[in-house]
């Protein structure tokens, strides 16, 4: 499946009755993912969670130290804190990466298998739209995989339903803590004060622009707009001096809630917005930060003449050289690079209200099926993947681990492929922000009656405060029901 679809599945839900099951993209049941390597997508598919419970096993071998040089082609890293089990184990790992990113994931696993004879991993890729449903069925049949890749916002319900198990001991044994990752990325993998996933990436919303159209408009093709004034000046210059649009605003279509939603979320974050109050009992995206964000999107249409289009039309127009600028998830990098080649510019989104952007994050998590030596092997694999995730950056994701992003191999990446482009926006890992890691957290933004839909209404003429107030009231009731059910 395509990356953006994954991301979206992760924060959305299929029906009102399953609303708290949370789905995005982000797929991403994966937002589970969104990798640049996958190309775009259209509407998200549903996800949910249910299953049986089980206890975790452990082994003394898991805490034994290990050493060794970093594998060829990967970033240098500190000596491994874990060792594989003494007994050979065969792990099954599920992921939702059906795009090009899936090939990168499999290549990383192939390298792992070559280096670790005692732990052999079989990768099984599941279609994002069916990912959670297949996990539910596998749990009922007692045929769960041992490790899964999933979006951070899918994890709470997977834990509540016994599919994913806490892994605080993995973090302890591997010596992992907040110092190894940006704080927001690390914290997103926690549920009820327990570690439930190890982040392998963040997929952010980025700014893409056409250097050829910038040149035609008299703009510096090596200087993307970084402020509100520069962004609006660029829109006007392209409109006045070329045959292309400076920017296009999604206002309808099956993907509108998502595509408008991630733009709203980025501006909301820049304005200091918080999705809920401290105890997650009340939706607060109708704050002044939310009103300002929705008002600005409407302003682009009303005052700058930005045309309204259906979802994905802005993406297609950008590929065709008919739209000079677009704010898109990092998963679109592959298709944009293929279409524009050297004319593609990539940068952080402009600071309209301040710094910050929306993003998601894939985590590796351990299921209830991994017990005893299988669990030891799962822990070793997850830690190894985290330390050796340079090639995951080449798949179009920003690696989550600090030492990978800070490595010369990543920072100085050059040549063909996505890695040099991803390196340009990698600093966003330090400022990216996420929706709450609670059951249905993504629903605050992406589904019907969420902030994304409210912002879409605002673009189409509804008073921003009125639209956001209505959505916040609806979601506050959902939060109260969810808190009562899941005791958070």
Q: Is the pLDDT of residue 352 over 80?
A: yes
Instruction: Number of helices (H) and strands (E) in the chain: give both, helices first.
Output: 20, 17
Considering only residues 29 and 443, tell me which one the structure prediction assigns the higher pLDDT.
443
Does 116 lie in the same domain as 58?
yes
Residue 41 has pLDDT above 70, yes or no: no
Between 268 and 64, residue with greater pLDDT: 268
Tell whether 457 is covered by a domain.
no
187 and 313: one domain?
no
Instruction: Tell me: do 248 and 374 sit in the same domain.
Output: no
Q: pLDDT-based confidence at 56, cuts 50/70/90? A: very low
User: Is the distance from CB of 307 to CB of 486 less than 8 angstroms?
Assistant: no
Mark whether 22 and 168 lie in a shared domain.
Answer: yes
C-alpha 223/C-alpha 230 separation (Å) is 10
Beta strand residue intervals within 3-114, DSSP E = 24-25, 89-95
For 49, the domain range is 3-203+361-433
- From 163, 357, 183, 129, select the one nearest 265 (Cα to Cα): 357
**Which pLDDT belongs to residue 128?**
80
Instruction: Give the pLDDT score at 386.
Output: 97
Bridge-based pairing state of the strands 398-399 and 201-210: antiparallel
Helix 288-302 to helix 464-486 angle, to the nearest 10 degrees? Answer: 140
- What value does the mean pLDDT of the chain take? 86
Q: What is the pLDDT of residues 384-417, one digit of tens each?
A: 999 999 999 999 999 999 999 999 999 999 998 9
Token output for 423: 């390196």
Q: Tell whether the model's pLDDT for residue 372 goes beyond 80.
A: yes
Q: Is the pLDDT of residue 297 over 50?
A: yes
Same domain, 296 and 313: yes
In the listed set 292, 326, 356, which residue is the last one of a domain according to the structure?
Answer: 356
CA distance 344 to 337: 6
Instruction: Give the model's confidence band at 5: pLDDT under 50 very low, under 70 low, under 90 confident, else very high.
Output: very low
| Residue 468 counted as domain residue | no
3-state secondary structure of 389: coil
Note whether 62 and 193 are same-domain residues: yes
The conformation of residue 192, written as its DSSP 8-state character, comes to: T
Predicted TM-score (pTM) of the model is 0.85
pLDDT score, position 48:
29
Q: What's the chain's Rg over C-alpha atoms?
A: 22
- Residue at which a domain ends, from 356, 372, 388: 356
Q: Are residues 335 and 378 in the same domain?
A: no
Q: What angle do CA 378, 384, 386 make, to 5 degrees?
A: 105
Tokens of 257: 């809630």
8 A C-beta contact, residue 108 and residue 74:
no
| Residues facing 433 on adjacent strands | 358
Out of 418, 433, 448, a domain closes at 433
Q: Tens of pLDDT along 184-224?
A: 999 999 999 999 999 999 999 999 999 999 999 999 999 99
| Residue of 199, 200, 217, 201 lying closest to 209 (CA atoms) | 217
- Residue 160 is predicted with a pLDDT of 96
Q: Is 116 helix (H, G, I), strand (E, B) or coil?
A: coil
**Cβ neighbours around 315 below 10 Å, total:** 27
| CA–centroid distance for 403 within its chain | 20
Residue 30 in this model has a pLDDT that exceeds 90 = no
Q: Is residue 203 within 8 Å of residue 398, measured between CB atoms?
A: yes
Judgement on whether residues 142 and 104 belong to the same structural domain of the protein: yes
Q: Indicate whether 376 belongs to any domain.
A: yes
Q: Which single residue is written with the structure tokens 């191999």?
A: 409
Nearest CA-CA partner of 40 in 88, 4, 90: 4
Query: Residue 100 — very low, low, confident or very high, per pLDDT cuts 50/70/90?
Result: confident
Average pLDDT on 259-284 reads 98
How far apart are the C-alpha atoms of 235 and 296, rounded to whole Å?
A: 14
**CATH, residue 148:** 3.40.190.10
The residue count of the chain comes to 488
Mean pLDDT of 237-257: 98
pLDDT band for position 6 (50/70/90)? Answer: very low
Residue 199 class from Cβ within 10 Å (0-12 exposed, 13-18 middle, 19+ buried)?
A: buried
Residue 61, domain member (yes or no): yes
pLDDT of 81: 66
411, 442, 368, 347: which is closest to 34 by C-alpha? Answer: 442
Residue 28 has pLDDT above 70, yes or no: no
443 within domain boundaries: no
140-172 pLDDT, tens digit per residue, is: 999 999 999 999 999 999 999 999 999 999 999
pLDDT greater at residue 1 or residue 101? 101
* d(C-alpha 151, C-alpha 131), whole Å: 11
Indicate if 156 and 12 belong to the same structural domain.
yes
Share of the chain above pLDDT 90, in %: 81
Number of domains in the chain: 2
> pLDDT tens digit string along 355-365?
999 999 999 99
- Residue 440 belongs to a domain: no
Q: In 197-264, at which residue ranges do the beta strands (DSSP E only) sit? A: 198-199, 201-210, 249-252
My answer on whether 135 and 248 are in the same domain is: no
Residue 99: per-residue pLDDT: 84
Give the integer Cα–Cα distance in Å for 6 and 467.
27
Residues 319 and 290 in one domain: yes
Q: 110 in a domain, yes or no?
A: yes
Residues 6+ apart with CB under 8 A from 301: 249, 251, 307, 308, 459
CA-based angle 167:169:172, to the nearest 5? 120
Predicted local distance difference test score (pLDDT) of residue 26: 33
What angle is formed at CA 450 by the lines to CA 449 and CA 453, rounded to 5 degrees?
A: 80
* Same-domain status, 23 and 146: yes
| Local structure of residue 283 (DSSP, 8 states) | B
Count how many Cα atoms sit within 13 Å of the Cα of residue 399 in the half-sphere of its side chain.
Answer: 28
Kindly state whether residue 469 falls inside one of the protein's structural domains: no
């Amino acid at each position: 499946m395509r990356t953006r679809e994954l991301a979206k599945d992760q924060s959305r839900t299929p029906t009102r009755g399953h609303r708290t099951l949370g789905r995005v993209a982000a797929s991403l049941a994966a937002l589970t993912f969104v990798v640049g390597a996958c190309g775009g997508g259209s509407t998200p598919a549903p996800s949910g969670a249910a299953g049986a419970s089980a206890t975790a096993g452990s082994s003394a071998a898991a805490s034994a130290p290990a050493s060794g040089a970093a594998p060829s082609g990967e970033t240098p890293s500190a000596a491994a804190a874990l060792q594989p089990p003494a007994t050979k184990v065969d792990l099954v790992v599920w992921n939702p990466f059906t795009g090009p990113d899936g090939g990168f994931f499999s290549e990383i696993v192939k390298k792992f298998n070559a280096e670790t004879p005692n732990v052999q991993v079989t990768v099984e890729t599941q279609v994002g739209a069916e990912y959670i449903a297949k996990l539910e069925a596998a749990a009922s049949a007692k045929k769960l995989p041992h490790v899964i890749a999933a979006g951070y916002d899918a994890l709470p319900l997977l834990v509540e339903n016994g599919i994913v198990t806490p892994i605080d001991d993995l973090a302890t044994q591997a010596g992992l803590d907040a110092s190894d990752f940006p704080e927001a990325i690390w914290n997103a993998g926690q549920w009820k004060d327990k570690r439930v996933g190890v982040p392998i990436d963040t997929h952010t919303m980025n700014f893409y622009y056409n250097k050829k159209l910038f040149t035609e408009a008299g703009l510096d093709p090596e200087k993307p707009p970084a402020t509100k004034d520069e962004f609006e000046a660029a829109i006007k210059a392209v409109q006045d001096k070329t045959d292309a649009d400076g920017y296009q605003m999604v206002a309808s279509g099956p993907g509108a809630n998502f595509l408008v939603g991630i733009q709203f979320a980025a501006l909301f974050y820049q304005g200091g917005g918080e999705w809920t109050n401290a105890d997650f009992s009340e939706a607060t995206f109708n704050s002044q930060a939310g009103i300002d964000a929705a008002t600005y999107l409407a302003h682009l249409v009303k005052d700058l003449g930005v045309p309204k289009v259906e979802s994905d039309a802005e993406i297609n127009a950008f590929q065709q050289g008919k739209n000079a600028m677009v704010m898109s998830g990092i998963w679109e990098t592959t298709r944009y690079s293929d279409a524009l080649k050297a004319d593609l510019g990539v940068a952080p989104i402009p600071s309209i209200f301040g710094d910050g952007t929306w993003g998601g994050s894939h985590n590796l998590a351990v299921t209830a099926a991994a017990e005893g030596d299988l669990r030891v092997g799962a822990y070793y694999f997850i830690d190894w993947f985290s330390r050796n995730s340079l090639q995951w950056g080449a798949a179009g994701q920003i690696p989550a681990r600090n030492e990978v992003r800070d490595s010369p191999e990543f920072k100085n990446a050059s040549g063909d492929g996505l890695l040099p482009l991803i390196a340009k926006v990698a600093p966003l890992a330090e400022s990216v922000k996420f929706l709450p890691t609670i059951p249905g957290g993504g629903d605050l933004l992406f589904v019907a009656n969420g902030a994304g839909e409210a912002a879409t209404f605002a673009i189409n003429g509804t008073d921003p405060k009125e639209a956001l107030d209505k959505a916040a009231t609806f979601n506050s009731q959902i939060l109260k029901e969810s808190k009562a059910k899941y005791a958070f």
